[in-house]
Amino acid sequence: LDVAQRSSTGALPPGGSVDAWVRAAHARYAPDDAGTVADYIPVLAHADPAWFGLSVVGVDGRVHQAGDTGIRFTIQSISKAFVFALACEAIGHERVHERIGVNNTGLAFNSVIAVELNGGSPMNPMVNAGAIATTALLPGSDAEERWSAVRDGLSRFAGRDLVLDDEVYRSESGANHRNRAIAQLLHSYGRLDADAEESVDVYTRQCSLAVDAHDLAIMGATLADGGVNPVTGEQVVSAEVCRDTLAVLASCGLYERSGEWLFEIGLPAKSGVSGGIVAVAPGKGAVGAFSPRLDAAGNSVRGQRACAYLSRALGLNLF
Ligand code: DON
């Protein structure tokens, strides 16, 4: 994505409520048809490239939305942020730091060479290697228990019971040879804390949970609110875990584009290959965006542009 385009939000409409800004962001970027829909997971290619939803949820639980906020799509890599939070909560800051790491690879989300170049380290929990290793760290005596922990934990972030999209799960399971290779490679370096095939399977299931843009905004607002879901009032994880998670999102959430993202938008965020993005404004709330057209790094083009616009319009940039 061209950074100049991403930062050029043009003249902002004067004044206005958060609802008006969200509607303005949607109207501005809906005609934008840059990017392409992912197809390396075959069934994802069926997504309508015109879908575009924006939801903003404040830590006070208020909701502001525009467009296709009720369309369900699979959470994909955005799950990595919340599974990392669950792992931090379960086994602590020191151990996730030691087993996974927190530095950007500078390489694509599914890079094999990043593992090789770093002595077998999965590097960070937001790339596929680190996410598979993080899922393997969750407590549980078998894959079913770890999957239950993931589904229950992510459902508590969303404030509703999230359901697996079986079609996407099956489609990805038949096309995930690269992730299975990454898991075997980590295993060969002694960096995987559970069986390689089972860990990839739980990871593939977590990526196949169905959410909408509104769910993403609530999940992000929970991280913004020190771990308290602003709708259900439940403390899902501790405030310390939110700090750890947001730090990793800031450095690694948009993969090799994380530096540009922070430079232009100034918020911890996570993207997924179905077209979702969650951007978190600590203490304020979160933006959930969904549109399936992606840039070359696998990040939603309309989602990025709308987040840039809203960050500026709502004064969310951390810096
Ligand atoms: O493992 C994969 O390739 C997918 N389940 C998730 C990748 C993804 O979402 C990358 N993000 N933009």
The answer to whether residue 318 is domain-embedded is: no
Ligand 1 atom nearest residue 207's Cα: 5
Q: Is 172 annotated as a binding residue?
A: yes
- For residue 91, pLDDT beyond 80: yes
What's residue 1's pLDDT? 39
Query: Are 198 and 232 within one domain?
Result: no
Report which residue type is found at 205: R
The answer to whether residue 149 is domain-embedded is: yes
Taken in order 163, 240, 119, 138, the sign of the CA dihedral is negative
CA angle 149, 98, 280 (to 5 degrees): 60
Residue 16 binned pLDDT confidence (cut-offs 50, 70, 90): low
The answer to whether residue 156 is domain-embedded is: yes
- For residue 3, pLDDT beyond 90: no
Ligand 1 center from residue 76 Cα (angstroms): 5
CB of residue 109 inside a 6 A radius of ligand 1: yes
Ligand 1 center from residue 4 Cα (angstroms): 26
- For residue 4, pLDDT beyond 60: no
Taken in order 119, 120, 125, 128, the sign of the CA dihedral is positive
Q: What is the pLDDT of residues 151-182, one digit of tens each?
A: 999 999 999 999 999 999 999 999 999 999 99
Query: Are 162 and 62 within one domain?
Result: no
What does the pLDDT average to over 129-145? 97
Query: Are 68 and 180 within one domain?
Result: no
Q: Structurally, how many domains does the chain consist of?
A: 2
- For residue 21, pLDDT beyond 80: yes
Ligand 1 center from residue 165 Cα (angstroms): 15
- For residue 12, pLDDT beyond 80: no
Query: Are 290 and 267 within one domain?
Result: yes
Q: Is 179 annotated as a binding residue?
A: yes
Q: What is the pLDDT of residues 258-271, one digit of tens each?
A: 999 999 999 999 99
The answer to whether residue 319 is domain-embedded is: no
Residue-range definition of the domain harbouring residue 289:
3-76+209-313
Q: Is 40 annotated as a binding residue?
A: no
Query: Are 116 and 133 within one domain?
Result: yes
Choice from 128, 135, 249, 294 to test ligand 1 binding pocket (greatest atom count within 8 A of CB)? 128
Query: Are 88 and 72 within one domain?
Result: no
Query: Are 172 and 185 within one domain?
Result: yes
Choosing from 207, 225, 243, the residue where a domain stops is 207
The answer to whether residue 306 is domain-embedded is: yes
Choosing from 207, 240, 264, the residue where a domain stops is 207
- The catalytic residues are 77, 80, 203, 255, 273
- For residue 81, pLDDT beyond 60: yes
Query: Are 181 and 297 within one domain?
Result: no
Residue 165, C-beta contacts closer than 8 angstroms, at least 6 positions apart: 72, 74, 208, 209, 210
What does the pLDDT average to over 235-252? 98
Q: Is 280 annotated as a binding residue?
A: no
CB of residue 229 inside a 6 A radius of ligand 1: no
Query: Are 109 and 155 within one domain?
Result: yes
Residue the block writes with tokens 């075997």: 184
The answer to whether residue 233 is domain-embedded is: yes
Ligand 1 center from residue 183 Cα (angstroms): 15
Q: What is the pLDDT of residues 195-226, one digit of tens each?
A: 999 999 999 999 999 999 999 999 999 999 99
Query: Are 40 and 103 within one domain?
Result: no
CATH code of the domain covering residue 165: 3.40.710.10
pLDDT-above-90 percentage for the chain: 93
Q: What is the pLDDT of residues 29-77, one digit of tens each?
A: 999 999 999 999 999 999 999 999 999 999 999 999 999 999 999 999 9
What's residue 297's pLDDT? 86
The answer to whether residue 293 is domain-embedded is: yes
Rg (CA), the chain: 18
The answer to whether residue 163 is domain-embedded is: yes
Residue whose CA is closest, atom 4 of ligand 1? 76
Choosing from 207, 225, 248, the residue where a domain stops is 207
User: What pTM was computed for the model?
Assistant: 0.95
Query: Are 104 and 178 within one domain?
Result: yes
Query: Are 113 and 97 within one domain?
Result: yes
